[in-house]
Chains A and B, each alone.
Chain A
Amino acid sequence: MPDMIEKRWNWAVWLGFLLALGAMLCNVVLLVNLPGQRAIPWLSVLLAVVALILVARGLQGAFGQPRVYRGKFLSSILSLVSLLLAGVAIFTFFHARALPTSGAAPQVGQKVPDFTLTDTTGQPVSLDRLFVPAADDSQGVPPRAVLLIFYRGYW
């Protein structure tokens, strides 16, 4: 009697959902700026791809063998959410890496161009003049080195 058979838990859909959630969580972890964080984007995209494979397998089970696996409705909902999470994780991966190459930018051993730009108080700041000691010693000892950080902006 088929009704007596206990239907199996659709583990593939659930695991796929958890991995898709993990793929998205990687983006939160990246904000913490952990050591070795270069690997996290790759982990994210890997989790997302495995999540999609598992969800596809789980759906196959839920709809292909409905007598064996339970949870047609729940599987569909979980799959949809997983597809969305994994999709966003994969899109973010490619979007975040769509950067111009840096080959033409100054490299170690090369000189960077001098510049003068205004700071937040409207004062002009020149790179070369930072290294020149002030005549009246009001600025203190000039720095030995300067760290230039270019960032995307739009804060």
Chain B
Amino acid sequence: MTISVDPPKVSRDLSKKAGYTFSILSDPNAEVIRRYNLLHVGGGPDGHDIARPAEFLVDSSRMVHWVNFTEDVRVRPRADEMLAAAKGLR
């Protein structure tokens, strides 16, 4: 599932348009983003605080098995990389 500061309505429109089937969660005040130490202060287009891109694969005890922090917002993990990480969990 994905998390950003976007309000649910924006994410609902995005999800509908793109046909996403995963959960899109809204953290408008960046509370969870801050708790995960992923806050990008003033990173939004209007100077709002947003999340830096990050991906975590966590198990039922919330333990991180795989993580990715990009150094360039244009470079994100590919679906096959994330699926490979999930398959490696067995």
For B13, the closest partner residue in chain A by CB is A155
Q: Which of A12-20, A65-73, A79-87, A102-110 contacts B (4 or more CB under 8 A)?
A: A102-110
Contact of A110 among B13, B63, B78, B82 (CB under 8 A): B63
Interface of A is mostly: loop
Q: How far is the CA of A148 from the CA of B69 in the complex (A)?
A: 12
Minimum C-beta distance from A102 to chain B (A): 4
Interface of B is mostly: mixed
Q: How many residues of A contact B (CB 8 A)?
A: 48
Which of B47-85 touch A at CB < 8 Å? 50-67, 69-76, 78, 82
For B36, the closest partner residue in chain A by CB is A105
Q: Are B82 and A147 in contact (CB-based, < 8 A)? A: yes
Contact of B69 among A105, A109, A114, A117 (CB under 8 A): A105
| A135 at interface by CB-CB < 8 Å | no
Q: Are B50 and A154 in contact (CB-based, < 8 A)? A: yes
Contact of B61 among A111, A147, A150 (CB under 8 A): A111
A-side contacts of B25, CB under 8 Å? 117-119, 125
Q: Using an 8 Å CB-CB cutoff, how does the interface string of A142-155 with B read, 1 for contact, 0 for none?
A: 10111111111111
Q: Are B55 and A148 in contact (CB-based, < 8 A)? A: yes
Contact of B64 among A30, A112, A119, A154 (CB under 8 A): A112
Q: Are A154 and B54 in contact (CB-based, < 8 A)? A: no
For A30, the closest partner residue in chain B by CB is B74
| A27 at interface by CB-CB < 8 Å | yes
Which of B7-32 touch A at CB < 8 Å? 8-15, 23-27, 32
A residues near B (Cβ < 8 Å) are: 27, 30, 33, 35, 37-38, 40-41, 96-97, 99-100, 102, 104-115, 117-122, 125, 127-128, 131, 142, 144-155
B residues near A (Cβ < 8 Å) are: 1-6, 8-15, 23-27, 32-33, 35-41, 43-45, 50-67, 69-76, 78, 82, 86, 89
